[in-house]
Structure 1
Amino acid sequence: MTASGTERHGAVATAVQRFRSRHASWVPVFGALVILVAMMVGAQAYFGTFVTPRVLSALLLDNAYLLILAVGMTFVILTGGIDLSVGAVMAFTGMLGASLLSQGLPTAVVVPVMLLLGAGMGLAVGVMVQYFGVQPFIASLAAMFAARGLAFMVSLSSIKVEDPAILWLQSARIQGAPGSFYLTPTGILALLVVLVGILVLQFTRFGRTIYAIGGNEQSARLMGLPVVRTKLLAYVISGVCAGLAGVVFTAYTGASYPLNGIGTELDTIAAVVIGGTLLTGGSGYVLGSMIGVFVYGTIKTVISFLGAEQAWTRITIGGLLLIFVVVQRVIVARSGTQRS
C-alpha cells in the first residue's frame, strides 16, 4: 500500500471512529433496526406471505396501545426512573371509561376524564419520588397495585363498550387501493404520539433537560435546570400516555376488564430497552422505542404464524433484552474509557 493510500485509510478510520464516538447512543437503535429487518426478511423467506400490507398494517394496529405506552415510558427512563404502573393505569382508566360510557356519559367527557386520571396517577408517582424520596421502582409499584385495585372496584367483570365513537377508533379504515396498507384512527393516534414525543425530546428545552437529568442529575441541579418540575412532568406524561392507551385498548378490544394489561408494563420496558434507551437514563430516543415495539410485535406475529405457544414470545424477548442490556453496558463502559 502506498503512502497516500495509507493516509486515506487512516483518515477514513479516524472519521469512522469520530462518528462512532459522537453517535454511540444511536448504536443500539441501529442494532434494533437490523434485528427488525432481519426478522422481516427471514419471515418472508420462510412463510412467503409475511411482508404484506395486511400483516404490516396489523403490526401497527395490534400494538398501537403499546407504542403509546412506550413513548411515555421513554420519558421516564431517560430521567433514570421507571414506571411499573402503566399497565394497571391503562386497565383502570379503561374500566372507568367503559363504566361511564355505559351510564350514558358522552365520549367528549369520558375521554378527557380518562386522560386526567392517568395524569393524576403519574403525578402521584412523581410526587412520591421527588418529595418523599421513594425509589421509582417502589413508588410505581405502589401505584400499580392501587390502580389495579381501583379497576376491580369499578367492576369485577368485563364491561362491553357499545359507544359508536370509541368503536369507530378501531373499526374505521383509511386505505387506498383494495389490498393496500391501511390505517385506523388508533394507529394514527399512536403515530402522532410518537411524532410529538420525538419533537419534544429533540427540539425543546424540556427535552434537553430530560437528557441532562438522566446524564447527571446533580450537574443538572448545579446548572440551575428545573429538575423537580421536569421529573414530575415526565411521570405525568407517562400517566397521560397510559390513559390514552386505555382509550385505544378499549377501542381495540371493544370491552374493558380489570385484568387487562397485566404484564404490559414489562413489555413496555422491554420494548424501550430493546429500542436503545439506557435504563440508567440520559441516552435513548422515541424512534428507537417505536422500533423496539415493532420488534416485539414481529416476534409475536412470527410465533403466531408458526402456530407455536405464545410462551416463546416471552422467551425470545427475554433473550433479546439480555443481549441489549449487555450491549448497553459495553457502550457505557467504552464511553467512560474514552472520556478518561
Structure 2
Amino acid sequence: MTNPVTTVLSSAGSRRYVPVAATLLLLAALYAGGLANYRNFDHPQVVANLFVTNAALLIAAVGMTFVILTGGIDLSVGSVMAFSTMACAWLTVEAGVPAGWAVPGVLLFGMLSGGLIGAVIHYFKVQPFIATLVGLFLYRGLTLQISDRDISVRDVEFFSWGMERHRFGEVSLPNITFVALATAVVAFAILHYTRLGRTVYAVGGSEQSSHLMGLPVARAKITVYAISGFCAALAGVVAAFYTKSANPLAGVGFELDAIASVVIGGTLLVGGYGFVLGTVAGVMVLGLISTIIAYQGSLSSWWANMTVGALLLLFILLQQLIEKLGRRTVAERAAPPGAEPARPEPQKQAAP
C-alpha cells in the first residue's frame, strides 16, 4: 500500500511547495502559541512590528534568495550592510556630502561590488563560499577603516524620513516597512515574470543544462550577486533609518540570519526551488520567535539563536528527504515497466 505522504513528496509538482507549506504551518503554530500564552498578543501591532524590526533582514534575505536559487551563497551581506551604514553616516556627517548623493552612491557601490564577486565566482571558478568570505573580511575591514566608533546621524534631517509613521486603524507603520515590502514585491515580479527570473531557476536546476540551452548563465550569476550586494547596501541604509546611528561592529552574524530566513522559508540550498514569499515567511518566523521570547521575559535572547539553529537543521533534513525521494522517483520512471529500478553496482577494489 502506497504511503500518501511519500506520494506527495515524490511528486515533482508538489515537492517545490512542501518546504513553503511547512514554513507557513510553523508560522501559524508559533502565532497560535503566542495567542494561547500571552496577553495582548492578538493586537495587530504585534504582527506589524515584525515587519518594522526585521525590515533590514527582510531586504537582505530577499537578495540572498536570488543567490541561493542559483545554488550559490553570499557570506558578505552582513559586512556590506555595516559598511553601507557607516559610509552613509561618515559621508553625511564627517564629509558633508548631501544625503541625496551619499545614499545612491552607497547603493551603487553595493551593487557593483556584488557584481564583481559574481564575476570572480563565474569566470575564475571560485567557490561562492570562498569568494564571499573574502568579501566578508574585506568590507568589515573597510568599515573599521572609516571609523572605529559610533557615528550618530540624528542631526541629519534626511534620516528622520525612515521612521515617519503612517496609521492604519490600530496599526502604525514607518516608511522603512514599505521599503522592505516594496523590495519583496519587486523581487517576486522579477523571479516569476521576467526572463532573468526564469534563467535564475534554470541555472539553479542545472547550470550545465542551462549552458546547453543557450541561456545567459554568466549574466544571470553576476546579476544575482549584484542584486544581493544592492539589497545588503539597502539594508544598511534602512538600518541607519532605524537606529539613527552607525556602528562599525553592526551586522556581525547578519548573513547567517539572512541564510536561515531563506532556508526556513523553503528555498532549497541546492538551488532551483524557492519563493520570495517563502523568504518573507521565514523572516517572520525568526521575528516571531524573538517576540515570543521577549513576551516570556525570563529567557535569554540566546534561546532565539538556539531555536533558529534547530529549525534550520530540521529544514535542511527536510530538503534532503525531498531530494532523495525525487531521485528515487526519477529512477523508477526511467526503469522499464515491471522492472526494479537500476541500482548502482558496488565498485570493485583494485588488487594490490
Question: Scaled by the length of structure 1, what TM-score is found?
Answer: 0.93
- Segments of structure 2 that go 5 or more residues without pairing to the other structure are 332-352
Q: Is 1:282 aligned to 2:272, yes or no?
A: yes
Which one of 112, 115, 121 corresponds to residue 104 of structure 2?
Answer: 112
CA apart distance, 1:69: 0.4
Give the secondary structure class of the aligned counterpart of 1:239: helix
The structure with more helix, counted as a fraction of residues: 1
Letter matched to residue 214 of structure 2:
G
Percent identical: 45
Give the secondary structure class of the aligned counterpart of 1:128: helix
Please list the CA deviations of residues 115-144 of structure 1 after superposition, one character each: whole Å capped at 9, or x if unmatched: 011112212211220122111000000001
Give the secondary structure class of the aligned counterpart of 1:169: coil
Give the secondary structure class of the aligned counterpart of 1:23: helix
Q: Is 1:244 aligned to 2:237, yes or no?
A: no
Q: Tell me which residue corresponds to 1:146.
A: 138
Partners of 2:46 and 2:110 in 1: CA distance: 31
Q: Is 1:40 aligned to 2:28, yes or no?
A: no
Partners of 1:72 and 1:188 in 2: CA distance: 16
Cα 1:135–1:17, aligned 2, differ >3 Å: closer, same or farther? closer
Please list the CA deviations of residues 222-260 of structure 1 after superposition, one character each: whole Å capped at 9, or x if unmatched: 000000010000000000001100110011111001101
Partners of 2:206 and 2:68 in 1: CA distance: 13
Letter matched to residue 165 of structure 2:
R
Letter matched to residue 327 of structure 1:
L
Which one of 162, 165, 171 corresponds to residue 158 of structure 2?
Answer: 165
Letter matched to residue 24 of structure 1:
R
CA contact under 8 A between 2:8 and 2:15: conserved in structure 1? no
Partners of 2:160 and 2:254 in 1: CA distance: 22
Q: Is 1:204 aligned to 2:194, yes or no?
A: yes
- Which structure 2 residues correspond to residues 1-340 of structure 1 after superposition, within 5 A? 17=8, 20-102=11-93, 103-161=95-153, 162-170=155-163, 172-177=164-169, 180-307=170-297, 308-340=299-331
CA apart distance, 1:53: 2.0
Give the secondary structure class of the aligned counterpart of 2:269: coil
Cα 1:321–1:18, aligned 2, differ >3 Å: closer, same or farther? closer
CA contact under 8 A between 1:169 and 1:184: conserved in structure 2? yes
Q: Tell me which residue corresponds to 1:7.
A: none
Partners of 1:77 and 1:211 in 2: CA distance: 10
Give the secondary structure class of the aligned counterpart of 2:248: coil
RMSD: 1.7
Partners of 2:239 and 2:271 in 1: CA distance: 28
Please list the CA deviations of residues 248-289 of structure 1 after superposition, one character each: whole Å capped at 9, or x if unmatched: 001111100110100000000001000001111111111100
Which stretch has the larger CA shift, 89-98 or 127-136?
A: 127-136
Partners of 1:56 and 1:236 in 2: CA distance: 31
Question: Scaled by the length of structure 2, what TM-score is found?
Answer: 0.89
Partners of 1:17 and 1:319 in 2: CA distance: 25
CA apart distance, 1:104: 2.5
Give the secondary structure class of the aligned counterpart of 1:74: helix
CA contact under 8 A between 1:78 and 1:282: conserved in structure 2? yes
Cα 1:17–1:312, aligned 2, differ >3 Å: closer, same or farther? closer
Q: Tell me which residue corresponds to 1:6.
A: none
Which stretch has the larger CA shift, 21-30 or 71-80?
A: 21-30
List structure 1 runs of 4+ shifted beyond 2 angstroms. 16-21
Give the secondary structure class of the aligned counterpart of 1:183: strand
Number of residue pairs aligned between Structure 1 and Structure 2: 325
- Segments of structure 1 that go 5 or more residues without pairing to the other structure are 1-9
Partners of 1:19 and 1:140 in 2: CA distance: 34
CA apart distance, 1:19: 10
CA contact under 8 A between 1:89 and 1:121: conserved in structure 2? no
Partners of 2:58 and 2:228 in 1: CA distance: 12
